[in-house]
Amino acid sequence: MDYQDFSIGLTGGIGSGKTLVANLFADLGATIVDADEVARNLTLPGGAGIEPVRRQFGDAFIQPDGAMNRAMMREHVFAHPEERLKLEAILHPLIRDISFQQARQAKGDYVIFVNPLLVELPIWRGMGTRVLVIDCPEALQVSRVMKRNNLTEDQVRAIMATQASREQRLAMADDVIHNDKSIEEIASEVRGLHARYKKLVENRAS
């Protein structure tokens, strides 16, 4: 089935567990199109985003190996919000185009677009005929990201402040997984949703 007829837009705040849930869906047969992975590839040596980034921000943001200096760029755009908009203007159209290209080539049961900014920005609207939100308490988000990325609480909360609130994401959701439970419980919920999504695909195809 064409992704435009049925697909899932999976989103959630930083540290909510999007990757865990996406991997569980992939194990069951869904095709995952991950915006963060696309973005990383665009900013690796030879990536389509490197030269536009160099022209906009200068050679200092490109490492000797030809990749974008992600840590330096992250600090720069958080200190200067207007610069973040310039970076998004370069990368987001490229990410969108490549994501749709990958979706057209998908062979799985259905496509899941994983995108942390699905709710925030108009450019991502329409990535998914249904929206699945991965939700968890903010304190849990903070502790996970501090541990995973070796960041301070203030740094994590600064990142969260650039994202939609829990309430905004939940208001957009067709389905929700609350990721404050065990992996076994999450996997059980994913199996249930996967079965429902396959049934929806079958119904639309008939």
Per residue in 87-114, pLDDT (tens digit) is: 999 999 999 999 999 999 999 999 999 9
Q: Are residues 41 and 83 in the same domain?
A: yes
Q: Are residues 89 and 17 in the same domain?
A: no
Q: Are residues 125 and 90 in the same domain?
A: no
Q: Are residues 84 and 7 in the same domain?
A: no
Domain boundary among 64, 79, 107: 107
Average pLDDT over residues 141-149: 89
Handedness of CA 50, 96, 158, 136 (dihedral sign): negative
Q: Are residues 116 and 83 in the same domain?
A: no
Domain boundary among 83, 107, 131: 107
Say which CATH number the domain at 146 has: 3.40.50.300
Domain count, the chain: 2
Q: Are residues 123 and 103 in the same domain?
A: no
For residue 4, give both structure tokens: 């435009």
Q: Are residues 66 and 131 in the same domain?
A: no
Q: Are residues 97 and 169 in the same domain?
A: no
Tell me the C-alpha distance between 199 and 206, whole Å: 11
In terms of pTM, does the model score above 0.75?
Answer: yes
pLDDT band at 1 (very low <50, low <70, confident <90, very high): low
Q: How many CA atoms lie within 13 A of 101 on its CB side?
A: 7
Tell me the C-alpha distance between 135 and 189, whole Å: 13
| Nearest CA among 173, 190, 205 for reference residue 30 | 190
Q: Are residues 96 and 145 in the same domain?
A: no
Average pLDDT over residues 10-15: 92
184 alpha carbon, distance to own chain's centre: 23
For residue 161, pLDDT over 90 is answered with: no
| Nearest CA among 197, 175, 141, 159 for reference residue 28 | 197
Domain boundary among 58, 81, 107: 107
Q: Are residues 118 and 156 in the same domain?
A: yes
Count CB atoms within 10 A of the CB of residue 186: 19
Q: Are residues 95 and 185 in the same domain?
A: no
pLDDT band at 149 (very low <50, low <70, confident <90, very high): confident
Beta strands in the chain (DSSP E): 7-11, 31-34, 111-114, 130-135, 175-178
Tell me the C-alpha distance between 140 and 160, whole Å: 12
Q: Which domain range does residue 141 map to?
A: 1-30+108-206
Q: Are residues 47 and 120 in the same domain?
A: no
Q: Give the residue, 79 or 61, on which the prediction is more confident.
A: 61
What does the DSSP assignment read for 42-91? HTSTT-TTHHHHHHHH-GGGB-TTSSB-HHHHHHHHHH-HHHHHHHHHHH
pLDDT band at 78 (very low <50, low <70, confident <90, very high): confident
Per residue in 175-187, pLDDT (tens digit) is: 999 999 999 999 9
Per residue in 29-64, pLDDT (tens digit) is: 999 999 999 999 999 999 999 999 999 999 999 999
Show Cβ contacts of residue 191 under 8 Å, excluding neighbours closer than 6 positions.
Answer: 28
